[in-house]
Amino acid sequence: MIATTALELAQEGLGTSGVQAWILDNLIPLLLLVVALLLLWLGGGKGDNAGVMRRLGGVIVALAIIGLAVTTNAGQEIGSWIAGLFTG
C-alpha cells in the first residue's frame, strides 16, 4: 500500500507549488502583521513618527521586490543571476 503510493508520487513528480502557495497565503501576511506591530511598538510609543516612516519606507520597498518576484516569476532568473556572480 505504501509502496504504491510512493510510486505514484514519484511518477507524478514532486514540486514546490504547495509550499509556495502556503508561504504566500500564510507566512507573508503574518510577517506583515509582525512588522506593523513592531513599528507601532518601537516608534509610536516614543513619538518617533519620522523613524517609523523611514522604516515603513524600507518595508514598502521590500514588499515591492517580493511582489515583483512573485507576480512575474522572475525569482528564478534573479537567483540564477546572483549565483552567476559567485560561480564565475
Is residue 82 included in any domain, yes or no? yes
Is residue 83 included in any domain, yes or no? yes
- Summarize pLDDT for 27-42 with one digit per residue, the tens: 878 888 888 787 777 7
What is the spatial distance between Cα 28 and Cα 61, in angstroms, rounded to a whole number? 14
Q: Which domain holds residue 61?
A: 26-87
52 contacts 39 by C-beta, under 8 angstroms: yes
Is residue 5 included in any domain, yes or no? no
The residue to which cell 518576484 is assigned: 69
Is residue 52 included in any domain, yes or no? yes
Q: What is the count of structural domains for the chain?
A: 1
Is residue 76 included in any domain, yes or no? yes
Q: Global pTM?
A: 0.46
Is residue 74 included in any domain, yes or no? yes
Is residue 2 included in any domain, yes or no? no
Mean pLDDT of the chain: 75
Structure confidence at residue 69 (pLDDT) = 73
